[in-house]
């Protein structure tokens, strides 16, 4: 396990606050209980920050037809809908909600070539709000598989999140399970699949990025 580079400054700040608390206690030498109470909040903060930015090892064994989860979290939407930004046709949407306690690294759900990317500034509605995919800060990425099928997925900021990190550019190679971005704090990822996709998850299922198979797309 390692800690994501997007958390470098936050981890450094949390560690500095903890060390400052320790230094104050050393200088004033308070009663042991008071010293613990002075240091404990900063220790808890550092622990939470390290937990949030953790990146545990994952093993992606997806076949060419399988779509893996791009994020850790809980499936909150599985429905037929129209994707209005790029595909502009009917698709099956699978949405994964990430709480602040989930791993927030995002990965490519399929392999192929990145054919489209776009970042949108926006609001910060709660991630499960029906309009969050249209109004919130978000980043859209489309990967074209070798057989020509395009899979669109969208990182969506939540009420707490204030920064979406999306690394791919059009023309980049994508491999299922490889890192493509990070969202700071609570958020959501939507995946839009062709109508003939065989869905392998249900609402309420818990996903692990790179490992949980969301669907199979027939040739």
Element (H, E) at 117: strand 112-120
Q: What are the DSSP calls for 140-163, one per residue?
A: EEEEE-TTS-EEEEEEEE-SS---
**Which has the closest alpha carbon to 76: 217, 186, 210, 165?**
186
**Residue in 105, 129, 98, 107 with CA at minimum distance from that of residue 53:** 105
Query: Three-class SS of residue 99?
Result: coil
Helices 32-52 and 8-28, packing angle to 10 deg = 170
Tell me, yes or no, if 111 is annotated catalytic: no
Find the catalytic residue in 95, 132, 187, 210.
Answer: 187
Determine the 3-state secondary structure of 35 from DSSP. helix
Longest dimension (CA), the chain: 70
Residues with a catalytic annotation lie at 187
């Amino acid at each position: 396990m390692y800690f994501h580079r997007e958390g470098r400054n936050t981890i450094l700040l949390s560690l500095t606050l903890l060390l400052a608390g320790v230094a104050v206690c050393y200088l004033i030498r308070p009663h042991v209980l008071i010293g613990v109470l002075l240091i404990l909040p900063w220790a808890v903060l550092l622990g939470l920050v390290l937990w949030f930015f953790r990146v545990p090892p994952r093993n992606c064994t997806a076949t060419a037809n399988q779509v893996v989860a791009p994020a850790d979290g809980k499936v909150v939407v599985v429905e037929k809908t129209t994707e209005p930004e790029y595909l502009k046709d009917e698709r099956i949407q699978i949405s994964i909600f990430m709480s602040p306690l989930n791993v927030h690294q995002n990965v490519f759900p399929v392999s192929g070539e990145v054919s489209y990317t776009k970042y949108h500034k926006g609001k910060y509605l709660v991630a499960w709000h029906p309009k969050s995919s249209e109004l919130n800060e978000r980043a859209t990425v489309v990967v074209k598989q070798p057989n020509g099928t395009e899979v669109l997925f969208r990182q969506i900021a939540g009420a707490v999140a204030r920064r979406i990190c999306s690394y791919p550019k059009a023309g980049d190679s994508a491999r299922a399970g490889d890192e493509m971005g990070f969202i700071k704090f609570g958020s959501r990822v939507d995946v839009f699949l062709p109508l003939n996709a065989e869905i392998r998850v249900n609402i309420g299922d818990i996903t692990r990025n790179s490992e949980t198979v969301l669907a199979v797309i027939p040739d």
